[in-house]
Amino acid sequence: MTTVYDIPPDVLIANVAGELKKLDTIKAPDWAEFAKTGVHKQMPPKEEDWWYTRAASVMRRVYIDGPVGVQRLRSFYGGKKNRGSKPNRFARGSGSVTRKLLQQLETAGYIQNTPEGRIVSANGRKFMDAVANDSKASIAEKYPGLSKY
């Protein structure tokens, strides 16, 4: 069976985001349309459904990286902060966005909290692998090398 590791990330994240939109437990808060995704950003995201895209990306990161915490995910979603004439420095991504997404994914039953960090639950693994398997058929002509999976 095809897993998350076998599908290109952009295709998988788009398909998982589409599936997450159908759930009632994952919704963007009221402040999400005004919020930046980190101090290194100058503007909020332009995409309307960025909350679901980030939720899918967070879920993929937790699936791949094993037990992770909010700080590790903040580092992953960080970037260069423009400090004017001074040299750029790395700045972590928004902790609030990451924390709220993890809480919503926990409520949905896709992620569980352990003493080592958050991991993908059995339901979450089943969900992600099912979406990856469905994605395989749609990308076979674009990526012919994936037909062996």
User: Would you say residue 149 has pLDDT above 70?
Assistant: no
The model's pTM? 0.90
Instruction: Tell me if 110 sits within 8 A of 101, measured CB to CB.
Output: no
Domains defined along the chain, listed by start:
4-139 (1.10.10.10)
Q: What is the pLDDT of residues 74-129, one digit of tens each?
A: 999 999 999 999 999 999 999 999 999 999 999 999 999 999 999 999 999 999 99
Q: What is the pLDDT of residues 61-76, one digit of tens each?
A: 999 998 999 999 999 9
Per-residue burial over 67-92, b if 16 or more Cβ lie within 10 Å, else e, is ebebebbbeebbeebeeeeeeeeebb
